[in-house]
Every structure is written in structure tokens, then in C-alpha cells.
Amino acid sequence: MKRIGLLAAIVAIGLTGSVCSADAQNKIVIRSVPIGNLKVVDPIWTTAYITRNHAYMVWDTLFALDADNKPQPQMVDTWSVSPDKLTYTFTLRDGLKWHDGGAVTAADCVASIRRWGARDGMGQALMSYTAALEPVDAKTFRLVLKEPVGFVIEALAKIDSNVPFMMPERIAKTDPNEQITEVIGSGPFRFVANEWVPGSKVVYEKFKDYVPRKEPASQAAGGKVVYVDRVESIYMPDHGVAMAALASGELDLHESPATDLLKLVEGNPDVVITPNDKLGYQLFMVLNHLHPPFNNKAVRQALAWGIKQEEFLTAMTGDPERFSVCAAVYGCGLPNESKAGTVPLLHPDPEKAKSMLQAAGALGAKVTLMDPTDNDLHSAALVAAQTLRRMGFVVDVVAMDWSTLIQRRASKAPPEQGGWNIFVTNATATGTANPLTNNFVKNCDQAWYGWPCDPRIVDAGRQWALATDPAKQRQLIDELQRLHMENVTNVPLGMYRPTIIYRKELSGIIPAPAIFYWNIKKQN
């Protein structure tokens, strides 16, 4: 026994002494925690935000939104529109290269736009108005429309999923219903494939041949200058451990810390807390318009009176400074904010809700609520259950994981036969910002889950897409908002802004819906 112990000690000392730590390599590394687990690498195939964030590292876009949410050219050098507003011609910047060598060409861009246009809602709309899309020469391509529309550049500058990233032609030719397998782009970082540990760590390295624009960085637009050598994105589902690791310096940045744990680092002089995404997320309740009780407009309107947005928002984020009550379907603090018809949601009256329910004969009606227990919407679901019970509904809370929920919500069957009545979900503010991108309130044959159908809404939406006069657009938005409130397409539950935390050695983090790792400097 003694001899074994001595032997072990000698071995341990020997090994310890002989090996030095590999960290002493003078590389500037940022270790950060992403918003989720990167499962799918293809940002055209999935709208998952984690994939979008990952994509921003390695791929680039033709246009991008600046800090005022105005489209600016990014990969495009110059562009022009014909006098009849039907032909758009784009010329690429010099020096754009793919990570595996080879220059970016117009053919690459054409293929990428087509692939994106097959999957994304706004892209599909654009493609439906497109007569021709073809390269003119190695650096120029043109888009010819069937009739003038006002959103071509906005579509190509889209900052929210699916973002129209440019990929090499051979990769962009992948069937849109399949995932791409290679992560090769022309963005400021390279994806280090052999160091990827799915479910745990993603590694990016600076792409030395990237040519940034000359302008300063401004949200997703401007020059993407990289000041670090390497970014390690470490997935850490345990928030407490992640917070402790950041406080001790083992991590540099956390993209979505648990708000309740922020008080652990609030007094810490080495840690900065900031709401990096000023717009944040919209929370909303999805109603099934096909089956009782919510197929009855009167019942839906009664529901709106019984909702206290504060309860939902507090349960989701805890801190009143990080959320705001908001009933605008297209978001508050955004260009298409409207106050039409918002009284019930902004001035809840549970007694009135109950009496309206009684008048509609729905007191005691059974409601099947889907509760995703494995993500943070779970709290909102439980608050929803209690709210509905308070109003006089009988609620069956069906617990399931998120993957089951997204399968079950596609079912149009009655709730007793595997369907549903209600669930709560969220979307980025930019994703709900206008009638084209906000799939969640589209109606009739374009409807999202819940299947609301009011032909007036479809009509007004179509008119908005074609309108080029801002005053007309404004009028249509108010009309849409009014119709959404009258019909109770869904129930907006307010908006909340996530915070990020990072160590003070980092600077230059750009305010945006995703964390961009260019422009960030790290002191040693």
C-alpha cells in the first residue's frame, strides 16, 4: 500500500513538471457562452437564432442594416435601379474571397439568393415578384421584377432569420430542404471544423484575407474589423455555473445570462452588464381559431381583457427595467408601432373579462394549454394557465418538451384528439416588425399555426407590400393593427430586452440583436 502511494506520487510530480500549459501561445481568445446549442449549421434551412448568430461569424451579406435600421451596402460596392423601377443591378466589392480560396462571384450570389428565396417568407415574396435573376459578369448581377415593389433592398438587408447570407455556388446549389454540410463563407471568421464538439464547443478563427469596408461598424453594416485571433463559443446550460465562471474570469462574455443571477455580478467591478439588443423579443399567446372556445370571436375578445402583461413579463425576466408592456402587433419602439384597438390589453379588467365570457356562454369551457417544460417559455405557460383559470376557464396543462410542441402545434385536429387550444411563444422584435416578416399574424392561406382567417387582413397586408408611399403604408398599418385587435389574431404579451454580461477586458461590442464578434477588442 505504501509502495503504491509513493509510486503514484512520483508519477504525478513527474508528469506535472514536464508538461507546460498550452495557453501560453500569445493568441487573443474570447471565450463566450452562446444563446443556445448549435445543432444545425445552415442558416437558410433553419430560423433558429443560434444558427443565425453562428452564421454571422462566417458568412457575409449583400446589404445590412445599420444602427438606424436602414439598409447599407455590405458586399455590394455600387448598385442602381432602372427608371421604371423594374431592374436592379448590383456590383460586388473588390477583394471578396471565400475561406477556401477563390473569389466571390456574381454567380455565387445569384445561387445564394435563390436558395434563400426558396425558404424565407420575405424571400419567397420577393421571388414571386421576380421575373429574372442572373449574373451579368464576374462581379455584377441583376434582378428584374414583374412589377415594382418597395422592399427589394430591405429584403436583402434582412437582419433576422432567415438572413440572406452569400455562399459559394456549389454549396448554394444544395437542395433548400437539405442541410448544407460545409461551412465555407466569406465572412470575417473561419469555422474550425475539426475543433467543433457538437453540444459543447464551436471554434472560430480570424479570416486573415477578409477585406472590411472602410466605414466604421454600425449594427450589421460598416467595416467588420476583427481584433482577436480566436473565438470559442462554449455551450453551458447550467446558468449558475456559467455566471460563476464569468465572475472568476474563466469566461469573457455570456450572451444570455439568467436575469435573476445578475445580482451575483452586479457589484463586481470586472463585469459589465448591458442590454445589448435594444429591441429584444415580443412575447405572445397563440390561439387556435379552428376549435372551441377560441373559434368564437367574443370569447377571444373576452380573453384580451383578462390578460395582465406584467405578470407574464415578470415571470419571464424578473426585472421591470428589462421589459415593457406593449400591445402593438408589429412591436413597440419600431417603425410600425400602432395604438389602434389596444385598450383591453393595456387596461386589463378581469371582472369584465369574466362577465364577457359568461355572456358568450363560455364560462367553464375547457382549454388545452401546451407547456414546453424544457425552455424558458415554461414560466409564461404556467402564468397563462393561472390567468385562464382566474377568468373561469377549465385548463388542462399538457407538459411536453419543445420538440413535441412544435410537432403538435401543426395539428389541426380537435384538442381531445391530439390538437391544442393555446400556447405561448416569442419572436425577435425585428422578426415581428412588419406585415411581410411577421409570419405569426398572417391570415387565411398564409396563416401560421392557429389558422386565423380574416380576408380583410390578407388584403391590407398585400396592399402594404405594394405600397411605396409612406403615408399610405402608415394608414394600412393602423388598419391592420385595428383588425388584429378586433379579431384577436393572437394576444401580444409585451416586449422584453435580454441583457448580456462581459468582462471589462472586452470593448467595442456592437448593439444588435445578435452578438457580432468583429470590432471587439480584448485587453490582456
Span 156-195, contacts to another protein by CB under 8 A: 177-179, 181
Packed helices 297-305 and 350-359: angle between N→C axes, nearest 10 degrees: 160
Q: Report the residue from 382, 453, 465, 506 that binds another protein according to the rule CB under 8 A.
A: 382
Comparison of 108 and 160: residue with beta carbon closer to another protein: 160
State the minimum distance, in angstroms, from the CB of residue 141 to another protein: 27
* Shortest spacing between CB 199 and another protein, in angstroms: 5
H helices present in 392-512, as ranges: 402-408, 455-466, 470-487
Chain centroid to CA 102: how far? 31
89 binds another protein (CB under 8 A): no
**28 is an interface residue for another protein by CB under 8 A:** no
* Residue from the set 222, 306, 318, 513 that interacts with another protein by CB under 8 A: 318
- Under the binding rule (CB under 8 A), the answer on residue 264 touching another protein is yes
Binding to another protein (CB under 8 A) within 453-472 occurs at none
DSSP 359-393: HTT-TT-EEEEEEETTSTHHHHHHHHHHHHHHHT-
Binding range to another protein, per CB under 8 A, among 104-112, 135-143, 257-265, 466-474: 257-265
Q: How far is the CB of 264 from another protein (least distance, A)?
A: 6
**407 to each of 155, 281, 395, 410, how far by Cα in Å?**
29, 23, 21, 6
Which residue, 60, 505, 424, 501, is CA-closest to 255?
501
Helix axes 297-305, 470-487, angle to 10 degrees: 100
Taking CB under 8 A as the criterion, the residue among 131, 374, 444, 504 binding another protein is: 374
Is 352 among the residues that bind another protein (CB under 8 A)? no
Q: Which is nearer to another protein, 359 or 444 (CB)?
A: 444
Among 83, 101, 208, 248, interactor with another protein by CB under 8 A: 248
Interaction mask 400-439, another protein, x per CB under 8 A: xxxxx-xx--x----------------------------x
Question: Among residues 216 and 237, whose Cβ is nearest to another protein?
Answer: 237
Q: What is the DSSP string of 95-144?
A: T-B-TTSSB--HHHHHHHHHHHHHH-HHHHHHHHTEEEEEEEETTEEEEE
The binder of another protein chosen from 89, 295, 314, 475 (CB under 8 A): 314
Residue 41's nearest CA partner among 176, 160, 183 is 183
Q: Which grid coordinates are listed for 43?
A: 442558416
* 19 forms part of the interface with another protein (CB under 8 A): yes
Cα–Cα distance for residue pair 410/423, rounded to 1 Å: 12
